[in-house]
Amino acid sequence: MSTGSVLISPAGIEDDDLQMTKVTFWRRLRRHRLAVAGFVVLAFIVLCAVFAPQLSPFDPTYIDPHWQGNPLPPCFVNSSQCAGHILGTDEVGRDLLSRLLFGARISLTVAFFAVVMEVVIGTILGALAGYYGGWVDYVIMRVTDVFLSIPLLPLLLVLTGIVAASSSKASLSFLTIVIIIGALSWPGVARLVRATFLSLREREFAEAARAVGNNDFRIIFRHLLPNAIAPIVVQATLDVANVIVLESTLSFLGFGIQPPTASWGNMLANAQATLEQAWWVAVLPGLCILFTVLAINYIGDGLRDALDPNMR
Amino acid sequence: MTMEATLAAPTTGALLEVKALKKYFPIHAGLFSRHVADVKAIDGVDFEIRRGETLGLVGESGSGKTTIGRVVMRLLPATSGDVSFDGRDILAMGRGDVRHLRRQMQIIFQDPYASLNPRMTVGDIVGEPLRIHNLASGKAAEDRVRDLLKLVGLRPYHANRYPHEFSGGQRQRIGVARALAVDPKFIVCDEPVSALDVSIQAQVINLLEDLQQQLGLTYLFIAHDLSVVRHISTRVAVMYVGKLVELAGRDALYENPLHPYTQALLSAIPIPDPAVEARRTRIVLKGDIPSPVDPPSGCRFHTRCPIAFERCSVEEPAFVDYGSGHFAACHWVAEHGGQAPNLANGPIVL
């Protein structure tokens, strides 16, 4: 290309001749096979949750009269004793399939909202700490350290105790659980985002953004944050799993979602009494958690790659 | 402050004036982050840049030349001194005025791989200044981006691509287009070609020269490659450990360098003719560039200067005009009535 005539565009090439089709985000995501599989599985689980009332063969709180102290087996284990319960019953004789379907609603929404809350808080605090440094960083990170240094379980118990004491109901509302989990799990995200921002703000394009006239807000959220998306997405998908398990811990300790309302967490927790006689009561909710977490992790992987322009 | 500064803006003479500029980076150490020392990156520098000219600024790594560019751009705060642009004191400007300043002053960065946001398309990178300063939006902004890309020798459809799809030279052109988007008067070129292949360097240099002519730009051209600086500059300033040692018109500096450091630098330029190259005398300096944390007393160059005498280690030499704007800071030159020392043939070559 001649540099002497920079004003003249190369001969014979019209602007639109070479208009490249933009490889879209969705096309790139589709190329990631495991992510597609993850999407399919997650969509299936979400549909099951949405249509739980239509799909459930029984009411999730109905106790089958055939139950005599031991969980009824699934039909594929023992078709003569299952009394129509495809996946058997739990330790008090409630239909396991119906409870899994209704439990999906609770577990997925708790996980989704708690993770969204955690990511929003963690990202904003981590970004401010990493970008500004100095005393802003110091204050935010000391608060983060306080949250990280207290063992999570006692903190959860104290908090839920306080909230439970101040409300009239014996168990906590769904919203309270989401807020408590979200408010306690952000430090990991905050540290991750801070570390990423510490390195990003030293990159020359951050300085270039400032030289062009961007203010701090635009530099943080338009220039630096998109470059920090990959670790945040991965962390968030991993935390979905943690939150589902955390909710089950809360339930087990008597503060989470309480029976007879089903969540995968409390089903898993309550199954341990009958683990020796009835493996399905524990294994089936466990499998549900496993598949959900796996699916979300693969989606996270795919998202990370699809969001990275260098991977095109 | 702002109002009287705006009223006083002249239309001729110096575009940028730098007076007694200092930039110290504090070093904190110990348990309580005590302030133990300063890196004196710029330690009292005076120069001016005239409208339409290119001032070349050369110096070794760590001499503070990049820091000057950053301070002048208000990307780094100055420790003390004055910088006035178009008659306005830019170091005293508030946030809003700095924002306005960015429309008149831009910067081209050294590393074209690091200075473009990998998550933004070229169109967004070049178009962003337009949106920030409300210069154009929608279709008008798109058209302006296409024109800018053509102006720097790229093609309009490149706007949809990401920086990683381009070569180093093309990326630097994107950087140039971004700087030109706001239609600035003045551009700091911070080693714009030192990260590029030699074959590409000439293209980018020629582009910068063409743009200067077409758009009437003024450049501060920071570099360490003396041949490149000679090619593009109107005047050249030489920097050594935070201070200017010599400043002169391009030809005066290259043909009659006064300061021993300038002479040593120029003697290091290889000559592309084997016969001449073989006879070339090199002035090899002993030692390394001193630390800007604890610069030598008196003349900063005295520790490495082949003609240093007693006065040099005690007294700091003044930056004196030896005629027609040829400034130098050297006691030897002062005591010999502005005569250039002859280091090239003599026993003093070390």
Which site among A22, A212, A224, A308 would you substitute to test the B interface, given the most B Cβ atoms closer than 10 Å to its Cβ?
A: A212
**How far lies B140's CA from each of A15, A132, B144, B184, in Å?**
16, 35, 6, 19
Looking at per-residue pLDDT, the higher value among B179 and A273 belongs to: B179
Size of interface A-B (CB pairs under 8 A): 102
User: B114, A204: Cβ pair inside 8 Å?
Assistant: yes
Contacts 24+ apart (CB under 8 A), B83-88: B83/B16, B83/B17, B83/B18, B83/B19, B83/B21, B84/B16, B84/B17, B85/B15, B85/B16, B85/B17, B85/B186, B86/B9, B86/B10, B86/B15, B86/B185, B87/B5, B87/B8, B87/B9, B87/B10, B88/B2, B88/B5, B88/B6, B88/B8, B88/B9
Chain B CB within 8 Å of residue A170 CB: no
For B90, the 3-state DSSP assignment is: coil
Q: Minimal Cα distance from A18: which residue of B?
A: B157
Q: How confident is the model at residue B277 (pLDDT cuts 50, 70, 90)?
A: confident
Chain A CB within 8 Å of residue B93 CB: no
Strand B88-89 vs strand B105-108: parallel, antiparallel, or unpaired?
Answer: unpaired
**Predicted pLDDT of residue B127:** 92
Looking at per-residue pLDDT, the higher value among B177 and B269 belongs to: B177
User: A211, B73: Cβ pair inside 8 Å?
Assistant: yes
User: B150, A309: Cβ pair inside 8 Å?
Assistant: no
Minimal C-alpha gap between A215 and chain B (Å): 9
For B18, the 3-state DSSP assignment is: strand
User: A212, B155: Cβ pair inside 8 Å?
Assistant: no
Which site among A3, A217, A233 would you substitute to test the B interface, given the most B Cβ atoms closer than 10 Å to its Cβ?
A: A3
Express each pLDDT in B187-208 by its tens digit. 999 999 888 888 889 989 999 9
Chain B CB within 8 Å of residue A31 CB: no
Chain B CB within 8 Å of residue A11 CB: no
Chain A CB within 8 Å of residue B156 CB: yes
Q: How confident is the model at residue B348 (pLDDT cuts 50, 70, 90)?
A: very low
Minimal C-alpha gap between A34 and chain B (Å): 24
The torsion defined by the Cα of B267, B272, B276 and B277, in degrees rounded to 10, comes to 50
**Predicted pLDDT of residue A169:** 58
User: A7, B150: Cβ pair inside 8 Å?
Assistant: yes
* Cβ atoms of A271 and A201 closer than 8 Å: no
**Predicted pLDDT of residue B347:** 41
Looking at per-residue pLDDT, the higher value among B126 and A304 belongs to: B126
**In chain B, what residues touch A200 (CB-CB under 8 Å)?**
none
Chain B CB within 8 Å of residue A19 CB: yes
**Predicted pLDDT of residue B221:** 95
Strands in B243-249's sheet, in edge-to-edge order, are B105-108, B186-190, B218-223, B54-59, B235-240, B243-249, B327-328, B320-321
CB-nearest to A211 from B106, B119, B150 is B106
Chain A CB within 8 Å of residue B326 CB: no
Chain B CB within 8 Å of residue A207 CB: yes
Query: Residue B243: beta bridge partners?
Result: B240
Minimal C-alpha gap between A18 and chain B (Å): 7
Which site among B117, B126, B160, B187 would you substitute to test the A interface, given the most A Cβ atoms closer than 10 Å to its Cβ?
A: B117
Express each pLDDT in B152-175 by its tens digit. 999 999 998 999 889 989 999 999
Q: What ipTM was reported for this prediction? A: 0.83
Q: How confident is the model at residue B2 (pLDDT cuts 50, 70, 90)?
A: very low
Q: What is the mean pLDDT of residues B242-256?
A: 92
Residue ranges in chain A modelled with pLDDT below 70: 1-29, 167-172, 308-312
Chain B CB within 8 Å of residue A202 CB: no
* Cβ atoms of B137 and B127 closer than 8 Å: no
Express each pLDDT in B292-319 by its tens digit. 888 998 899 999 888 888 899 899 999 9
**pLDDT for residue B83 is more than 90:** yes
